[in-house]
């Protein structure tokens, strides 16, 4: 393996340290940030994510509340919970976990969020602001992918602005919560951007584009979709995928990404691992957004531009 392995856990620790100082400062000013999560039904990944976020919120000293709704909750009742959290002054940020039960419309819940507490930028106003390059909040997963890229480029002694300007950035996956905002973040950085999805694969176009990528971001949920033969030598590759796969021999479940790590690492300049790459940053970034939301709510001056994640997010800010 020749690639540099980008250590997401280290960057997550840096960010976390900065955030705990910010929480203490805000608490001293009487503006303790608060996070609310809304989880409906029994989805294992949703509950696992909720537990991780709760543990981090508690470690950082935020106010935390969890609304666990039964799988048979009505849309009206779910909307009432969103309204209640919107009116609660202890809650600065709200996270609605997916998947929701089929009778509850995701779009209806997102529209009901107070846009100033919508820390994943799923309300149409915040999604629009992000598209316009004036984001109030940058969704945590794509923000984390670009946080790792930005930090890696800076630490390897390059001018990120120049690198992005001269790069083909290829984003594979086009979901509302990951792929699409990642495309926006790449465009905001001035890159030449290509977006691929399942159709690109079906129609035989995918690997033509991945082979042309200087920077590759993969977020599909397809284990090992992109391997060494599909990338150019010297690519910087960010793997967002988190896929549980069971070992056919032992039956043990382990997590793998959307990249075939070993073969990509043989050709890449740098690559993020799974686990230990984008994942660790994502939870911290969500909390960071809840802290920014507390500042927004009180009109307190930010110690950093609120839209910083749109462009260069620095570890010590
Ligand atoms: P999604 O299912 O909502 O979207 C998947 C996207 O990938 C779609 O645009 C689809 O067209 C595309 N796609 C599917 N198969 C493809 C193929 N064969 N070729 C090309 N494109 C293909 O998924 P999502 O919510 O965007 O999540 C994607 C992955 O990222 C999943 O593995 C998920 O677990 C992971 N994820 C990680 C984090 C994190 O913190 N690291 C957060 C969210 C999601």
Task: Mark whether 240 and 151 lie in a shared domain.
Answer: yes
Distance (angstroms) between ligand 1 centre and the Cα of 78 equals 26
Ligand 1 nearest-atom number relative to CA 274: 41
**Is residue 128 domain-resident?**
no
**Is residue 2 domain-resident?**
no
195 Cβ below 6 A of ligand 1:
no
Task: Mark whether 269 and 147 lie in a shared domain.
Answer: yes
90 Cβ below 6 A of ligand 1:
no
Q: Domain holding 244: CATH number? A: 3.40.50.720
Distance (angstroms) between ligand 1 centre and the Cα of 157 equals 31
pLDDT for the residue 309 = 62
Residue nearest to atom 12 of ligand 1 (CA): 173
Q: How far apart are CA 44 and CA 71, in angstroms?
A: 13
**Is residue 6 domain-resident?**
no
**Is residue 273 domain-resident?**
yes
Domain that holds residue 100: 30-116
**Is residue 57 domain-resident?**
yes
pLDDT for the residue 211 = 98
**Is residue 284 domain-resident?**
no
Domain count, the chain: 2
pLDDT for the residue 308 = 59
Ligand 1 nearest-atom number relative to CA 220: 7
Task: Mark whether 111 and 196 lie in a shared domain.
Answer: no
Question: What mean pLDDT, rounded, does the chain reach?
Answer: 93
What confidence tier does 305 reach under pLDDT thresholds 50, 70, 90? low
Residue nearest to atom 17 of ligand 1 (CA): 198
Residue nearest to atom 19 of ligand 1 (CA): 198
Q: Domain holding 35: CATH number? A: 3.40.50.10860
Q: What pairs with residue 195 in β-bridges?
A: 171
- Pairs from 82-90 (Cβ < 8 Å, separation ≥ 24): 82/38, 82/109, 82/112, 82/113, 83/112, 85/36, 85/38, 85/117, 86/112, 86/113, 86/114, 86/117, 88/34, 88/36, 89/297, 90/32, 90/34, 90/63, 90/65
**Is residue 160 domain-resident?**
yes
Question: In the predicted model, what is the mean pLDDT of residues 188-213?
Answer: 97
Q: Could you read off the pLDDT of 244-290 as tens digits, one per residue?
A: 999 889 999 999 999 999 999 999 999 999 999 999 999 999 999 99
Verdict on whether the full-model pTM lies above 0.85 = yes
Question: In the predicted model, what is the mean pLDDT of residues 178-207?
Answer: 97
222 Cβ below 6 A of ligand 1:
yes
Task: Mark whether 105 and 199 lie in a shared domain.
Answer: no
Task: Mark whether 154 and 221 lie in a shared domain.
Answer: yes
pLDDT for the residue 313 = 44
Q: Which of 96, 220, 276, 289 to probe ligand 1 with, by most ligand atoms within 8 A of CB?
A: 220
**Is residue 221 domain-resident?**
yes
pLDDT for the residue 283 = 94
Task: Mark whether 247 and 157 lie in a shared domain.
Answer: yes
């Amino acid at each position: 393996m020749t690639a540099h392995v980008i250590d997401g856990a280290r960057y997550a620790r840096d960010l976390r340290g900065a955030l705990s100082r910010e929480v203490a400062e805000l608490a001293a000013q009487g503006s303790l940030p608060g996070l609310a999560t809304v989880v409906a039904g029994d989805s294992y990944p949703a509950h696992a994510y909720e537990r991780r976020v709760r543990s981090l919120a508690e470690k950082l000293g935020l106010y935390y509340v969890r609304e666990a709704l039964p799988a048979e909750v009505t849309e009206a009742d779910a909307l009432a919970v969103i309204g209640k959290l919107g009116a609660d002054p202890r809650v600065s940020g709200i996270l609605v976990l997916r998947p929701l039960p089929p009778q509850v419309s995701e779009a209806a819940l997102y529209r009901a969020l107070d846009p100033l507490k919508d820390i994943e930028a799923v309300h149409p106003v915040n999604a629009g602001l992000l598209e316009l390059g004036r984001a109030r909040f940058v969704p945590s997963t794509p923000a984390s992918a670009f946080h790792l890229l930005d930090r890696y480029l800076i630490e390897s002694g390059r001018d990120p602005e120049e690198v992005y300007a001269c790069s083909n950035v290829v984003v594979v996956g086009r979901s509302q919560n990951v792929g699409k905002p990642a495309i926006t973040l790449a465009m905001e950085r001035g890159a030449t951007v290509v977006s691929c999805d399942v159709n690109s694969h079906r129609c035989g176009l995918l690997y033509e584009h991945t082979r042309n990528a200087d920077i590759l971001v993969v977020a599909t949920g397809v284990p090992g979709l992109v391997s060494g033969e599909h990338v150019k030598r010297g690519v910087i590759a960010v793997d967002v995928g988190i896929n549980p796969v069971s070992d056919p021999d032992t039956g043990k479940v382990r997590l793998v990404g959307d990249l075939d790590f070993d073969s990509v690492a043989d050709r890449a300049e740098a690559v993020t691992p799974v686990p230990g790459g984008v994942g660790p940053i994502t939870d911290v970034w969500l909390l960071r957004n809840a802290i920014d939301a507390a500042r927004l709510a009180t009109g307190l001056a930010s110690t950093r531009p609120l839209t910083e994640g749109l462009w260069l997010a620095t570890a010590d800010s």
